[in-house]
Amino acid sequence: MRLHVVDHPLVSHKLTVLRDERTDSPTFRRLTDELVTLLAYEATREVRVEAHDIVTPVGPTTGVRLASPKPMVVPILRAGLGMLDGMMRLLPTAEVGFLGMVRNEETLAASTYAERLPEDLSGRQCYVLDPMLATGGTLAAAIRFLHQRGADDITAICLLAAPEGVANLERHLEGLEVPVTVVTAAMDEKLNDKGYIVPGLGDAGDRLYGVAH
Ligand code: URA
């Protein structure tokens, strides 16, 4: 697994405002959107393209366009939805599939409660959107799911990651025959005993959409 922590002053600046408990939901949503676009720029560095002939007003040339099959963007519900627009701004012709995953707040185990994805993802590059790489359980389950459907290259975009989650994810992915990259805006200090990232930003879903019980 490759890990890429995006080191850029604008990313750090936006992330600082995002973390601040005084930041309200509308601002939190807007900043998430902006941050994801910056992360997506790094995350799509190896998106597959193919040669494409065009004619400019001055003459013919060969450029590139996104290769087929098109990349698949997979937000993990609920909080990953807040990252979707920021991602699609960079990849407007990508397809979108949905994975609903929830973690049991006592055992911290992840389970799938909804999915809307093609049965066959063979040859597809997948971009998973999940704001918090905390224990790594949700992301590991999502990556396994996509791999079982045939995805051959998976990149996860996370706003924040915890060292325990990254180590756990690496353990879960051992032996899995698919390249996995994690792109994140920061590697935080640790997890607390409730599985929250410290210093983190709190519950990403609640901060994006308000508390739903
Ligand atoms: N999920 C969140 O929303 N926040 C955390 O800190 C960990 C998991």
Tens digits of residue pLDDT in 118-149: 999 999 999 999 999 999 999 999 999 999 99
Q: Is 169 annotated as a binding residue?
A: no
Q: Is 153 annotated as a binding residue?
A: no
Tens digits of residue pLDDT in 30-79: 999 999 999 999 999 999 999 999 999 999 999 999 999 999 999 999 89
- Which atom of ligand 1 lies closest to the CA of 195? 7
Asked if residue 204 has its Cβ within 6 Å of ligand 1, the reply is yes
* pLDDT-derived band at 213, boundaries 50, 70, 90: low
- Which atom of ligand 1 lies closest to the CA of 201? 6
Residue 213 located in a structural domain: no
Q: Is 51 annotated as a binding residue?
A: no
Ligand 1 centroid–CA 41 distance in Å is 24
Active site residues: 103, 107, 203, 206
Q: What is the CATH number of the domain that holds 191?
A: 3.40.50.2020
Residue with tokens 């609640």: 206
Asked if residue 132 has its Cβ within 6 Å of ligand 1, the reply is yes
Tens digits of residue pLDDT in 143-200: 999 999 999 999 999 999 999 999 999 999 999 999 999 999 999 999 999 999 999 9
Is the pLDDT assigned to residue 18 strictly greater than 90? yes
Residue 61 located in a structural domain: no
Contact 100, 109 (CB under 8 A): no
Residue 97 located in a structural domain: yes
Residue 60 located in a structural domain: no
Chain centroid, CA 186 distance in Å: 13
Ligand 1 centroid–CA 52 distance in Å is 42
Residue 56 located in a structural domain: no
Residue 12 located in a structural domain: yes
Residue 38 located in a structural domain: yes
Asked if residue 209 has its Cβ within 6 Å of ligand 1, the reply is no
* pLDDT-derived band at 105, boundaries 50, 70, 90: confident
Q: Which of 15, 196, 208, 211 to mutate to test the pocket of ligand 1 (most atoms within 8 A of CB)?
A: 196
Residue 37 located in a structural domain: yes
Ligand 1 centroid–CA 127 distance in Å is 20
Is the pLDDT assigned to residue 212 strictly greater than 80? no
Domain total in the chain: 1
HEC states along the chain?
Answer: CEEEECCCHHHHHHHHHHHCCCCCHHHHHHHHHHHHHHHHHHHCCCCCEEEEEEECCCCEEEEEEECCCCCEEEEEECHHHHHHHHHHHHCCCCEECEEEEEECCCCCCEEEEEEECCCCCCCCEEEEECCEECCCHHHHHHHHHHHHCCCCEEEEEEEEECHHHHHHHHHHHCCCCCCEEEEEEEECCEECCCCCEECCCCCHHHHHHCCCC
Domain around 146? 2-49+66-208
